[in-house]
């Protein structure tokens, strides 16, 4: 259900009373994130900003108030300064109205410390996995403290890294956000086209896969074991290339002793029409796998129903 005035997307059927509600939101251009992840087993509402621009505290307050079922609301925030400040203000306003709000700030991108729009690490692909896992826990009826702790556990255990072959074009600007020669790629790119770690000549897929896997495993708080893995397209990448890249990534993860327990390959958090991909690896245990497998029914992610 869409509230076009406030630009908030809600579930068609609200959650039952006494359950924690989840909202997220951010700039548009990353579809299906976040609006496409509203539904049973994931978000209760998503606030859509202009393209690559944070929604306003008013939108977030509206959504928070509408979805609260008396058990509090978790704000899932990707670590960009605008989003963080606006969600903070919305949380304060909601608290003043007597709604209990907790916040998790996702910051999984290993590419860079600080960036164009961020203090600290950027929040990218892990947001998808977090919304799924925490959404399942909220359906189970866990309380806000438990759900917040779970969200922090997911954030602590997941890492992402991306690479762009082209820029994206913000419609209002009408020209590519950054210049990237046809024969080069941006390693460690952000989901708005923010610069990454390095710009290098195009390489074979196996080498690009190394550029994604190695920094994640170097940084991750785990060296091996089961993991939930997402190989995500940035919007303009052909599916044949995503499958091919996943094949290369899977080989490297196996060599490193990481067991792919669950996998997603497709467009889940995009950057408009950008060509490229990102890899997210989340250390998984029985709890996270159980929540991952729980039913979900959203436009962007659906199973078990």
Q: 57-67 and 81-96 helices cross at what angle (nearest 10)?
A: 50
266 binds a copy of itself (CB under 8 A): yes
Residue 80 C-beta: closest distance to a copy of itself, Å: 18
CA distance 20 to 145: 10
Among 214, 289, 299, 290, which Cα is nearest to 249's?
Answer: 214
Compute the distance between CA of residue 47 and CA of residue 63 in angstroms, rounded to an integer.
7
Candidates 29, 55, 196, 215; binder of a copy of itself (CB under 8 A) is: 29
Class of residue 55 by CB neighbours under 10 A (exposed 0-12, middle 13-18, buried 19+) = buried
CB neighbour burial string for 150-181, b if at least 16 within 10 angstroms, e if fewer: bbebbbebbbbbbbbbbbbbbeeeeeebeebe
- Complex with a copy of itself: residue 35 or 193, whichever CB lies closer: 35
- Look up 192 and say whether it is catalytic: yes
Please identify, using beta-carbon distances, which residue of 86 and 267 lies nearer to a copy of itself. Answer: 267
Separation between Cα atoms, residue 156 and residue 135, nearest integer Å: 17
Taking the least distance from each CB to a copy of itself, the nearer of 113 and 251 is: 251
Nearer to a copy of itself (CB atom), residue 79 or residue 166:
166
User: Does the annotation mark 75 as catalytic?
Assistant: no
User: Out of 15, 192, 211, 283, which one is annotated catalytic?
Assistant: 192
- Asked if 140 interacts with a copy of itself (CB under 8 A), we say no
Which of the residues 218 through 247 are near a copy of itself (CB under 8 A)?
235-240, 242-243
Q: Which residues are catalytic?
A: 30, 192
Please give the residue ranges that form the binding site for a copy of itself (CB under 8 A).
28-29, 31-32, 35-36, 51, 235-240, 242-243, 265-267, 270, 272-273, 275, 297, 299, 302-305
């Amino acid at each position: 259900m869409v509230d076009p005035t406030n630009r908030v997307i809600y579930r068609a059927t609200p959650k039952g009373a006494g359950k924690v509600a989840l909202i997220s939101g951010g700039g548009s251009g990353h579809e299906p994130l976040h609006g496409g992840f509203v539904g049973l087993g994931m978000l209760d509402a998503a606030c859509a900003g202009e393209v690559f621009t944070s929604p306003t505290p008013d939108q977030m307050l509206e959504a928070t108030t509408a979805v609260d079922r008396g058990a509090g609301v978790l704000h899932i925030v990707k670590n960009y300064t605008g989003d963080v400040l606006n969600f903070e203000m919305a949380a304060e306003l909601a608290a003043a109205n007597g709604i209990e709000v907790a916040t998790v700030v996702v910051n999984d991108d290993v590419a860079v410390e600080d960036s164009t729009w961020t203090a600290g690490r950027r929040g990218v692909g892990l947001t998808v996995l977090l919304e799924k896992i925490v959404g399942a826990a909220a359906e189970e009826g866990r309380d806000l403290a438990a759900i917040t702790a779970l969200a922090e556990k997911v954030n602590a255990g997941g890492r992402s890294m991306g690479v762009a072959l082209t820029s994206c074009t913000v419609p209002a600007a009408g020209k590519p956000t950054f210049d990237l020669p046809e024969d080069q790629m941006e390693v460690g790119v952000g989901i708005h086209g923010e610069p990454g770690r390095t710009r290098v000549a195009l390489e074979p897929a196996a080498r690009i896969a190394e550029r994604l896997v190695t920094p994640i495993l170097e940084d991750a708080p785990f060296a091996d074991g089961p993991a939930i893995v997402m190989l995500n397209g940035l919007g303009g990448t052909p599916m044949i290339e995503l499958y091919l890249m996943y094949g290369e990534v899977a080989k490297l993860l196996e060599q490193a002793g990481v067991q792919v327990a669950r996998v997603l390959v497709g467009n889940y958090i995009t950057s408009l029409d950008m060509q490229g991909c990102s890899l997210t690896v989340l250390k998984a245990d029985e709890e996270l796998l159980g929540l991952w497998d729980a039913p979900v029914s959203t436009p962007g992610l659906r199973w078990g129903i």
